[in-house]
Amino acid sequence: MPSPIASHLLRPGYREWLPPASLRHALACYWVAVVPADSEPRPANVLPDLCSDLIWQSGRGAFVAGPDTGPAPEMTPPGTVLVGARFRPGAGGPALGLPLASLRDQRIDIDAILPRLAGTLGPDLPPAQAVDAVTQLAARMVTERPPDRLVVHAGRLLAVGRTSVADLPATVCVSDRQLRRRFDEAVGYGPKVTERVLRFRRVIKDLTSSGETLDLARLAAEAGYADQAHLTRETTRLAGLPPRALARSLRPG
């Protein structure tokens, strides 16, 4: 029988919740999206966030969303239910037992890459059971195959500006080639792209909390871009929109 929390989550809308504390080093969140049956089909862009997701979709079954390097348009039919577990950077590759670079910018059905799991997350699974199945499976995956600790540490150094991409191999005491290989396997792309996406996510956070007035020059400087033009180029590449249009798309309603 599905847990009470599973049934509670299955109302129209999008919800996230935290995994148990012991899993938060590897799992960013669990989430559920329920598209109302009477809604109009509406495309949405999934933006790069360094993460990968194990997702179950009603009528489709399970698939893996690899790490994105640009906007990923998604069109979900009315009445669809999606249940996901989001792996933190450095955790997805080990948990799935696959080099994430092979899944970059892709959505791959699980029976094509992990056929042993397909039977547990079939397309006709009741949504409340899918919530339990996805959360339990993701927890088992990250427990049995934990994140690459060196990659996680290197990513944190980049996130807080403690080192540059050029100095990162020496900082974590591995060769440049080995570091790029381990990033490709665990994150899905190398340190340079990781740094770009980290910087872009800082912009997303600022734009989400900003009001109608945007000081783009200040935003560019605080996020670590060379100038406002650099900020505009990067948001256009990673989100498909310049900063002001991106800010409008992030506002509620």
User: pLDDT tens across 187-196, in order?
Assistant: 999 999 999 9
Domain 149-250 has CATH 1.10.10.60: yes
Q: Which residue has the tokens 């400087």?
A: 221
Give bridge partners of residue 198 from the DSSP assignment.
none
Note the pLDDT of residue 44.
79
Separation of alpha carbons 62 and 112, rounded Å: 10
Give every strand in the sheet of 27-34, ordered side by side.
Answer: 13-17, 27-34, 81-87, 52-57, 61-65, 107-109
pTM for the model stands at 0.92
User: What DSSP string runs through 187-222?
Assistant: TSS-HHHHHHHHHHHHHHHHHHH--S---HHHHHHH
d(CA 71, CA 73) in angstroms, rounded, equals 6
The pLDDT value recorded for residue 234 is 96
Average pLDDT of every residue of the chain: 92
Domain at 4-144, CATH from 2.40.50, 2.30.29, 2.60.120, 3.40.630: 2.60.120
Every domain of the chain with CATH number 2.60.120 lies at: 4-144
Looking at the chain, the domain(s) classified CATH 1.10.10.60 span 149-250
Give the whole-angstrom CA distance, residue 167 versus residue 154.
11
Beta partners for 55?
63, 84
